[in-house]
């Protein structure tokens, strides 16, 4: 068996960013930019006021208090009609252009309007003027290819006139569940049956990280039906997630079916608990992950292998996995020969974290997962106690607290 870290490296080596697509700006958030974008204007496009107040010349407020004549009022969206001259000022609103000759804007609170229409300046204060082009110059590249697009970047692109932009296409994901014992949510489980948990967990995991995912249903433990559903997924998606059927039991048919579909198996079985049977393969149209049937194992495998692969395919930079560091509240031991991943709560402790183990009844215990924030990494033969600094893999993956070097 290979280690978690080796399996992750092998999966990432097999995937590449997908093609580029052009999208409207309002659909770009969550994508990665596939082109350099330059500004078509100076930002700000004119000298503008940072505050409500009066635009003045410095020499007119050298001695205070000073009384000045108000030439006009200028609001955001209008433009001054007259430049400043000695003894004159212009009332301006926040964001409004300031007239030619302005040295500073005196805020309203430092002034006193007079009955004759003039204004008394009591205190000069800061300049309060944003100069044309001080943020961005026309023609300057504001974002480069490879930059992830969050709401702030979308706002910047709007400011520089980028109505449509090129981004890396996000991978589409197909989810196929397997098992005679599974029933979907519309049916009540009969004797020996259980509800299909993994399909809904995987759809939620994909969507919470910003990836489109679709269920291709539940396959019975029959090679023909399994082949049909997996092939539909392979034809319609970039990534197929097959839940269950990847171990060594009589009804674990996935490896044999994949071989018949021309899938090249890159790895099968990882030295971790839970999640040992995890499989990864590639084919001419995309990649496929075979995930263990137990719900906790499925989530662990998704966080460690699937999510970083999806991110790389979407153009994100994905580096070495760096788990969170936390101080353990409790005892954990691993007598096995595989890396153990134990559910825990993550609690803020000053500027750091504390990890409190969550009672679990094994890899099928989905209830324990609902009480957990992450997994403590426990090495082979390792015993950990209160106060030990441990590695924790967050349940929220790259969407939140899982940090990746370079990502």
- Tens of pLDDT, residue by residue over 160-189, are 999 999 999 999 999 999 999 999 988 999
pLDDT (0 to 100) of residue 406: 34
pLDDT (0 to 100) of residue 396: 74
DSSP-based helix, strand, coil % in the chain, nearest 5: 20, 35, 45
Q: Are 377 and 339 in contact (CB under 8 A)?
A: yes
pLDDT band at 369 (very low <50, low <70, confident <90, very high): confident
**pLDDT at position 129 over 90:** yes
pLDDT (0 to 100) of residue 402: 34
**pLDDT at position 363 over 50:** yes
Q: How far apart are CA 228 and CA 241, in angstroms?
A: 14
CATH 3.40.980.10 in the chain is located at: 4-18+170-313
Residue in this structure with the two tokens 């249903």, named with its chain if needed: 217
pLDDT (0 to 100) of residue 364: 76
pLDDT band at 251 (very low <50, low <70, confident <90, very high): low
* Whether domain 21-43+134-168 has CATH 3.40.50.720: no
pLDDT (0 to 100) of residue 362: 80
User: Which CATH superfamily hosts domain 322-404?
Assistant: MoeA, C-terminal, domain IV (2.40.340.10)
**pLDDT at position 246 over 90:** no
What percentage of the chain has pLDDT greater than the value 70?
Answer: 97
pLDDT (0 to 100) of residue 401: 35
* Residues 382-391, mean pLDDT to the nearest whole number: 96
Q: How far apart are CA 156 and CA 41, in angstroms?
A: 12
User: Which CATH superfamily hosts domain 48-130?
Assistant: Molybdopterin biosynthesis moea protein, domain 3. (2.170.190.11)
pLDDT (0 to 100) of residue 404: 36
**pLDDT at position 407 over 50:** no
Which of 11-25, 129-143, 185-199 is predicted with the least confidence, judged by mean pLDDT? 185-199
Sign of CA dihedral 232, 238, 241, 246: positive
21 or 407, which is more confident: 21
Q: Are 277 and 267 in contact (CB under 8 A)?
A: no
pLDDT band at 370 (very low <50, low <70, confident <90, very high): confident
CATH 2.40.340.10 in the chain is located at: 322-404
**pLDDT at position 398 over 70:** no
Sign of CA dihedral 382, 386, 389, 395: positive
**pLDDT at position 397 over 80:** no
Task: Kindly calculate the radius of gyration of the chain based on its CA atoms and give it in whole angstroms.
Answer: 30
pLDDT (0 to 100) of residue 399: 43
DSSP for 124-162, please give it.
Answer: -----EEPTTSSB-TT-EEE-TT-B--HHHHHHHHHTT-
* Residues 122-142, mean pLDDT to the nearest whole number: 96
pLDDT (0 to 100) of residue 53: 97
What percentage of the chain has pLDDT greater than the value 90?
Answer: 87
Tell me the average pLDDT of the chain: 93
User: Which CATH superfamily hosts domain 4-18+170-313?
Assistant: MoaB/Mog-like domain (3.40.980.10)
Q: How far apart are CA 193 and CA 212, in angstroms?
A: 29
Q: Are 337 and 380 in contact (CB under 8 A)?
A: yes
CATH 2.170.190.11 in the chain is located at: 48-130
CATH 3.90.105.10 in the chain is located at: 21-43+134-168
Instruction: Please write the tens of the pLDDT for every residue from 300-354.
Output: 999 999 999 999 999 999 988 888 999 999 999 999 999 999 999 999 988 899 9
396 or 57, which is more confident: 57
pTM for the model stands at 0.87
pLDDT (0 to 100) of residue 252: 78
């Amino acid at each position: 068996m290979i280690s978690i870290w080796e399996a992750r490296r092998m999966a990432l080596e097999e995937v590449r960013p997908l093609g580029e697509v052009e999208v409207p700006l309002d659909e770009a958030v969550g994508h990665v930019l596939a082109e350099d974008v330059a500004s078509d204007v100076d930002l700000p496009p004119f000298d503008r006021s940072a505050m409500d107040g009066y635009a003045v010349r410095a020499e007119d407020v050298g001695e205070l208090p000073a009384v000045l004549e108000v030439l006009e009022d200028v609001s955001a969206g209008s433009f001054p009609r007259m430049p400043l001259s000695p003894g004159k000022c212009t009332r301006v609103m926040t964001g409004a252009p300031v007239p030619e000759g302005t040295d500073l804007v005196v805020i309203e609170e430092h002034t006193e309007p007079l009955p004759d229409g003039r204004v008394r300046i009591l205190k000069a204060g800061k300049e309060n003027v944003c100069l044309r082009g001080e943020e961005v110059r026309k023609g300057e590249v504001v974002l480069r290819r490879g930059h992830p697009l969050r709401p702030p970047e979308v706002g910047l692109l709007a400011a520089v006139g980028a109505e449509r932009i090129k981004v890396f296409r996000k991978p589409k994901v197909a989810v196929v569940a397997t098992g005679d014992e599974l029933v979907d949510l519309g049916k009540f489980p009969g004797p020996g049956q259980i509800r299909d948990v993994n399909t809904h967990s995987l759809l939620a995991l994909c969507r919470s990280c910003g990836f489109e995912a679709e269920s291709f249903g539940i396959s019975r433990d029959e090679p023909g039906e399994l082949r049909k559903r997996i092939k539909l997924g392979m034809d319609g998606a970039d990534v197929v997630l097959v839940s269950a059927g990847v171990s060594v039991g009589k009804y674990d048919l996935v490896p044999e079916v994949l071989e018949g579909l021309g899938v090249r198996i890159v790895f099968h079985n990882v030295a971790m608990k839970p999640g040992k049977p995890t499989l990864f393969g590639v084919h001419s149209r995309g990649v496929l992950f075979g995930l263990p049937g137990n719900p906790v194992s499925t989530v662990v495998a998704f966080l460690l292998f699937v999510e970083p692969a999806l991110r790389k395919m979407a153009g994100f930079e994905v580096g070495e996995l760096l788990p969170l560091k936390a101080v353990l509240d409790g005892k954990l031991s691993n007598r096995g020969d595989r890396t153990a991943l134990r559910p825990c709560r993550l609690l803020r402790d000053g500027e750091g974290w504390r990890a409190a183990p969550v009672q679990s009844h094994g890899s099928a215990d989905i209830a324990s997962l609902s009480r957990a924030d992450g997994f403590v990494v426990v090495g082979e033969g390792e015993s950990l106690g209160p106060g030990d600094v441990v590695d924790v893999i967050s349940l929220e993956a790259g969407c939140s607290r899982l940090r990746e070097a370079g990502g």
